[in-house]
Structure formats: C-alpha cells, structure tokens
Chain A
Amino acid sequence: MALTTRQAPAAQASIRQPKGRGPLAWLPAISRKSASNRSLLRYVAGLAALLPALALAGIIVILANKAWPAVRVNGVSFLWRSAWAPGNTYGNPVKTDGVLHPVGVAYGALPLIVGTLASSGIAVVFAVPLSIGAALAVVEKLPRRASYVVGMFLELLAGIPSVVFGLWGILTFGPVLSRDVYPAVASIMPKVPILRFFRGDTGYGEGLMTAGLVLAVMIVPIVAATTRDLLRQVPALQKEGAAALGMNEWEVVRKVSIPWVRAGIIGASVLGLARALGETMAIAMVSGSLLGTMPANLYGKMGTIASTIVQQLDGAFSDGTGFAVKTLAEFALLLAVITLLTNIAARFLVRKVSTTALPVGRGV
C-alpha cells in the first residue's frame, strides 16, 4: 500500500495497533472514541492542564527555598523598612540565626514595593482610558481601512522590545516631559488631596512619572488590541436597540458597549498591569535607580523590584556569603506574590462584574 499522504502512517498505525498499546496509539483513535483511549486522553489533558499550576508552584517553591535564609535575617520588617545596605563585604561575615551574612546588612523593600505599585498604577491609570478610547475609535468611528492601519500599528507597537522603549524613554520622552510638561503641570496643580502629589520638584526626566508613562505606552497596545476585539463582539442588536431608544453614540458606548465587555476590559487591564509590574529593562533605564529611600515625589527617582533585581544582580555576586543574592531572591518572591495577589483580586472583580451585568450563557 503506497503512502501518499502525511496522515497515512498514523492511520496505518491505528489499524495495526490495537487500542491502548504503543505510546501514540491513542492519537488516531480519538475519533473512534474507544473508552480506554478516552480515559488516556483525559489523563494526558489533565496533566497538560496541571502543568501551569505545577510550574507556578515549582517557581514559588524554588524561589522561597533560595530566599529563606534572607527572609529569616531580614525579618518581617523587611516589608515596611526603607533601607539598602549590602554591608561590609570585605570584612569578616557574621551569623544570624545560623545564616552567614556581611556585617551591617540592612534591606528594606518598602521603596521598591511602592515604586513597583506606583509606576504600574500610573501606567494603568493612563493606559486603560487611552486604550478604551483607541479601541472605540477603531471599532466605532474610523473607516475600515484606517482602523486596519491603526490596528496594525497597535500590533507592531506590542512587538517592540522593552529595551527600545527604555532608550526612547531616557533619551527623548523623559527629557521632553521634564522640560515641557511636568513643570507646567506641577505649577498649576492646587494644594488639594491627590492633586497636590503632582506638585514639587519635577526632576530631569528620570523617575516615577516617566517610568509610569513609559509603562503606559508599553501596555496600551495589549489593552487596546484586546478591548478592540472585545468591542467587536458587542452584538449589533443591542447597540441598535440603544440607538432606537434615542441614545446618542456616546450613550450607546457608555451604557451598552462598554458594560457588555466590562469583565473583559478588566481582564485586559490586568494583563497590562501584570506586564507593567514585571517590566524590567525599560524601568531600569528610566527610573533613576534609587535605592533604600522612597521617591521624593511623583516625579522623583525611584526603583521597582524587577529593575532593582536586574541592576543589583551583578554586584550581589561579589557578596561572598551569598546573602545579597538570597535577598534578591526574596525580592523576586515578593514580586511573584504581588503579581499573584493582583491577579486574584482581578479575578474576584471580574466575577463580581459579570454576575451583575454580563449575559452568562442565556441567549435567545
């Protein structure tokens, strides 16, 4: 029998090999739906489904294991302390709780936690409305060809490596902002709650605000492209219903289109937030790399957990006790936990939103 197609060997195998034998015997047999093969398939699928969970658990366990000595020495106050002192790496190391470390070490994560959350928060605050606006323009306003072009640019933007954003941020975006935008903003902001944070010394373009805005530019494509795809799914029937009720375009968007995809937009924003929380290279370049102190104000130099890890890793290896590296592992663990918590919080938010508003499997 001549083998003319690619599928032929598999088909032959299925003929020759009875079910259950041979490593790939289940492959062609799926269509035959034999009971034992189905249970094998379920087993394999279950394993594949478990894989992400296993990977996550593995990463956390390995990180925690590496970080454990540092966790014991740095203590719980690590979380609310502002300090960055690697200690005297040339002197004789000492032991605390049986963990060897240089004399005079003091690490505190608070500035980096704040830097990470604040820069990502700024990014989301700017990026989400911008993304929704861009997505609405693409779906509702622009002619077909223009929306295709805009969509293409969004996808291109999403593919640009973060080091390019970082370089652009430090060479162009940051300086322009600090020269033309920040001072103007800072001077007009009144001394009222929240807005007063926008006052003060605006620096030279490296710092929290610049980092947040660079992150915003980086996550806009993700959030906008997802939101665009979501908005395209809003049924015309519902939008026409709103228009037929005499709503204007903006009301249709606000009352029907956006609520229809609200849960999805939250999901997309969390994707963007996760990217921002973990962004390393661009932040390392535009943050000003401040260690051990809180940013002076919204424009002040700062650091994030991720950027600090990458910037300090090299130096950490010069700590002969290995304590600096263990502390970086503790930071990494912290970042993983923060990301996890944000995701869980978002999941709750999505569930809450979708039970009140979204159609859940109840079409007509």
Chain B
Amino acid sequence: MTSIPMPASAGSKTARADMPLIVEAAPRSVSVQAKDLALGFGSATILSDLNLDVRKGEITALIGPTGSGKTTFLRSLNRMNDKVAKHWHQGDVLLEGASIYAPGVQLMALRRRVGMVFQRPNPFPMSIAGNILAGVKAHRIASKDHYRDIVEARLREVGLWDAVSNRLNSSPFSLSGGQQQLLCLARALAIGPEVLLLDEPTSSLDPVTTENIEAMVRTLVPALTIVIVTHNLGQARRISDRTVFFYQGKMVESGETSQVFEDPKEPETARYVTGRMG
C-alpha cells in the first residue's frame, strides 16, 4: 500500500499531492532485479551482496552518502560500466526476468529499453530538434514524416516546448542549464524506454526548475519505471514510492519511502535520514 510521503517543507506544493492515490493491495510486479550483484574495478570492490527488486511503474529513490556506490549501481542497470577499465561483476541483473548480462544481449537494444539521464546535462553538438531525434534515428524508431511530431510531443511532455519552439534548429548550448537537462530528459524519453535511470538529475539546478522536473517525473509513472539517485532527501520523500539506502557499496535498507524515512529499520539509515551522517 502506498502512502503520501510528507512534504519536505510545510506548505510547499508538491507534485505528489496532485497525484491520485493509487491503492493496490497486491505487490506490483518487478521490473529490474539485482541478484547477488557484486561489481568492481580492478582490485577494488565497489558493490557487493546486492539484492534489490525495482518495482514496475514506481519511482525508486537511491540515497546514501557520497561514494556509497549509487551511481555505479545505476550504471550497472544499463551496462554503462562495461566500458570502464578493469570492470568486473558477479551475480546478475534481470530486466523483466531476463539477464541483461547474458551472452547475446545487444547493448543497443538494452539501452533502448533502459534510458538514462546524467547528473549534468549533456546535449549533443547538434540542433535542439536533432538532440530529441538522435536516439530515434539511431534506433530507426520512426520515419522522417513523424520527426516533427515527435520533437513537439517530447518537448511538450517535459514542458520545454514553449521556450524552444521558435529555435528548434539552433544550438542546445544556448539553453539554460535546467532547459538543457529537460532536453536530455526529452531525448531519453523519445526512444520510449521501459525504465528510466536518473542520476541526480536536478543536482545542478535551482529549486523552481527542480520542482518542475520532479512534477514532470511524477507524470511518467506508472507508464515507466524510474530509478532516481538523489542527495536531496526532500526530493526522495517527495517523489519516490520506495527508497533504497546505500552505504559503503551495500544495500542497507529498502522499503516504502515513508517507512525508510519515518521508521528506518537499520541504525545507519536512521543516522543518514536524520542528517547525522553523510
């Protein structure tokens, strides 16, 4: 059963408050599953003993002190660690029950299903429209006649259309940082992923833009499954259904967001969420 998390500051209008309450007795099905995952670079072990179910159609927040392995874990879900020097892993990650590390898995196909938005905006050196279409073209998702509609639909979805509709062919680097991040979000959404990984997507943005992005992200569930890394505990409470606490490369606790914040089971979690650690 889901419950409304407490707003971070009293009186602030949260995205969550607008959402209809969906009450489901049965647990939702699992989208991504880490099974005994251990991962490292060279002789360093970054993650170990990781067992985690990411539920379908929910927002899962990953929290934890710096260096606890949140980014590394997130990147193991779309195999972005593969190219890192001396990368190794044990255990497995399942997407809809199938291993993403199985031989024969196509990285391109995997990353079409599991999208990612990075901590800092990373628009490509092409037009704003070109950015939205980059993935669409790479995966040959649509024909040319649909490009315009896709660009408009995606930009509207992230609330960027009004700001950029008159300069779709100009450089994305003239946009503000927040707008660039929204563009990257729209770009990731344009290829229609099932799972969206967000690595501190608002860490370099102002509160208002952050709030907009949070509201936007909320509208993406339950159509998508979202995993978001955040250092902003208020953000985790505002937008996530479930929260996972990482500490020193291990998953210490996971549960419904309200439970993790209000009634943490583990002492490390308690110390972290009350601001006495990290």
Contact B177 A244 (CB under 8 A): no
Contact B125 A244 (CB under 8 A): no
Query: Contact residue range for chain A?
Result: 20 to 34
Which residues of the other chain, A, contact B123 by a CB distance below 8 angstroms?
238
Mark each residue of chain A from 232 to 260: 1 if its CB lies under 8 Å from any CB of chain B, else 0.
00010110111111111001000110011
Instruction: State the main secondary structure of chain A at its contact with B.
Output: helix
Given contacts A243-B111, A246-B108, A246-B111, contact A356 B171 (CB under 8 A): yes
Tell me, rounded to whole Å, the shortest Cβ–Cβ distance linking A249 to chain B: 9
Which residues of the other chain, A, contact B107 by a CB distance below 8 angstroms?
246, 248
CA distance A103 to B42 in the complex (A): 82
Q: Which of A245, A251, A364 contacts B187 (CB 8 A)?
A: A245
Contact A255 B126 (CB under 8 A): yes
Q: Which of A237, A251, A359 contacts B118 (CB 8 A)?
A: A237
B173 at the interface (CB under 8 A from A): yes
Q: Which residue of B lies closest to A359 (CB)?
A: B173
B129 at the interface (CB under 8 A from A): no
CA distance A148 to B141 in the complex (A): 40
Contact A246 B139 (CB under 8 A): yes
Mark each residue of chain A from 312 to 338: 1 if its CB lies under 8 Å from any CB of chain B, else 0.
000000000000000000000000000
Q: Which of A237, A241, A248, A359 contacts B171 (CB 8 A)?
A: A359
Contact A244 B173 (CB under 8 A): no
CA distance A358 to B126 in the complex (A): 8
**Number of CB contacts from chain A to chain B under 8 A:** 86
Q: Which residue of B lies closest to A257 (CB)?
A: B125
Which residues of the other chain, B, contact A85 by a CB distance below 8 angstroms?
none
A360 at the interface (CB under 8 A from B): yes
B180 at the interface (CB under 8 A from A): yes
Tell me, rounded to whole Å, the shortest Cβ–Cβ distance linking B183 to chain A: 11
Contact B180 A364 (CB under 8 A): yes
Most chain A CB inside 10 Å of its own CB: which residue of B109, B126, B187, B188: B126
Contact B122 A238 (CB under 8 A): yes
Contact A244 B126 (CB under 8 A): no
A145 at the interface (CB under 8 A from B): no
Mark each residue of chain B from 105 to 145: 1 if its CB lies under 8 Å from any CB of chain A, else 0.
00111111001101011111111000000110011000000
Which residues of the other chain, A, contact B187 by a CB distance below 8 angstroms?
245
B226 at the interface (CB under 8 A from A): no
B191 at the interface (CB under 8 A from A): yes
Q: Which of A243, A245, A256 contacts B125 (CB 8 A)?
A: A256
Given contacts A251-B138, A359-B173, contact A241 B125 (CB under 8 A): no
Given contacts A241-B118, A360-B173, contact A247 B138 (CB under 8 A): yes
Which residues of the other chain, A, contact B126 by a CB distance below 8 angstroms?
255, 259, 357
CA distance A348 to B124 in the complex (A): 23
Tell me, rounded to whole Å, the shortest Cβ–Cβ distance linking A243 to chain B: 7
Q: Which of A238, A245, A355 contacts B111 (CB 8 A)?
A: A245
Contact A244 B138 (CB under 8 A): no
Which residues of the other chain, A, contact B170 by a CB distance below 8 angstroms?
356
A6 at the interface (CB under 8 A from B): no
Contact B125 A259 (CB under 8 A): yes
Q: Which residue of A lies closest to B108 (CB)?
A: A246
Q: Which residue of B lies closest to A240 (CB)?
A: B80
A362 at the interface (CB under 8 A from B): yes
Contact B108 A242 (CB under 8 A): no
CA distance A102 to B21 in the complex (A): 102
Tell me, rounded to whole Å, the shortest Cβ–Cβ distance linking A321 to chain B: 58
B227 at the interface (CB under 8 A from A): no
CA distance A355 to B174 in the complex (A): 10
CA distance A238 to B131 in the complex (A): 12
Which residues of the other chain, B, contact A242 by a CB distance below 8 angstroms?
124, 134
Q: Which residue of B lies closest to A244 (CB)?
A: B116
Q: Which residue of B lies closest to A241 (CB)?
A: B122
Which residues of the other chain, A, contact B139 by a CB distance below 8 angstroms?
246
Tell me the A207-245 residues at the B interface (CB within 8 Å): 235, 237-238, 240-245
Given contacts A238-B124, A259-B124, contact A245 B118 (CB under 8 A): no
Q: Which of A244, A260, A358 contacts B78 (CB 8 A)?
A: A244
Contact A247 B120 (CB under 8 A): no
Which residues of the other chain, B, contact A360 by a CB distance below 8 angstroms?
171, 173
Mark each residue of chain B from 181 to 205: 1 if its CB lies under 8 Å from any CB of chain A, else 0.
0001001100100000000000010
Q: Which of A235, A244, A247, A356 contacts B127 (CB 8 A)?
A: A356
Tell me, rounded to whole Å, the shortest Cβ–Cβ distance linking A291 to chain B: 47
Contact A245 B138 (CB under 8 A): yes
Q: Which of B111, B171, B174, B204 contacts A244 (CB 8 A)?
A: B111
Contact B191 A362 (CB under 8 A): no
CA distance A360 to B125 in the complex (A): 11
Tell me, rounded to whole Å, the shortest Cβ–Cβ distance linking A359 to chain B: 4
B83 at the interface (CB under 8 A from A): yes
Which residues of the other chain, A, contact B138 by a CB distance below 8 angstroms?
245-248, 251, 255
Tell me, rounded to whole Å, the shortest Cβ–Cβ distance linking A218 to chain B: 30
Which residues of the other chain, B, contact A251 by a CB distance below 8 angstroms?
138
Contact A364 B204 (CB under 8 A): yes
Q: Which of B110, B116, B177, B191 contacts A364 (CB 8 A)?
A: B177
Q: Which residue of B lies closest to A242 (CB)?
A: B124
Q: Which residue of B lies closest to A263 (CB)?
A: B125
Contact B122 A235 (CB under 8 A): yes
Which residues of the other chain, B, contact A356 by a CB distance below 8 angstroms?
127, 170-171
CA distance A255 to B130 in the complex (A): 10
Q: List 9 A-B contacts (CB under 8 A).
A: A237-B118, A242-B134, A244-B78, A244-B188, A245-B191, A246-B107, A246-B111, A255-B134, A356-B127
3 residue pairs, one from A and one from B, having the closest CB atoms: A246-B111, A364-B177, A359-B173
Using A244-B80, A245-B115, A259-B126 as known contacts, list a sample of 10 further A-B pairs with CB atoms less than 8 Å apart, ordered by residue number in A: A238-B123, A240-B122, A241-B184, A242-B134, A244-B116, A245-B111, A255-B126, A259-B124, A355-B171, A356-B171
